[in-house]
Amino acid sequence: MNQLNDTELSGPHKRFLSVLREVGVAVVSEYKITIHGHKYKLDCFLPDYLVAVEVDGPYHHKKHDKTRDDALYSIGVLTMRVPADTAEVLKVDAIAKILEGLEESIQERKQYWDKRKDFE
Q: Which pLDDT does position 83 carry in this prediction?
A: 80
Q: Which helix (H) or strand (E) holds 82?
A: strand 78-83
How does pLDDT run across 68-92, given as a tens digit for each residue? 999 999 999 999 888 888 877 777 7
Q: Is the C-alpha dihedral spanning 58, 60, 61, 66 positive or negative?
A: negative
Q: Which pLDDT does position 12 carry in this prediction?
A: 83
Q: Which pLDDT does position 4 carry in this prediction?
A: 42
Higher per-residue pLDDT: 15 or 4: 15
Q: Compute the mean pLDDT over every residue in the chain, rounded to the nearest whole number.
A: 83
- Three-state secondary-structure class, residue 55: strand
Mean pLDDT of 5-20: 77
Looking at 3.40.50.620, 3.30.450.20, 3.40.50.300, 3.40.960.10, the CATH number of the domain 6-119 comes to 3.40.960.10
- Three-state secondary-structure class, residue 43: strand
Q: What are the residue ranges spanned by the domains of the chain?
A: 6-119
53 pLDDT exceeds 70? yes
Evaluate if pTM is beyond 0.85. no
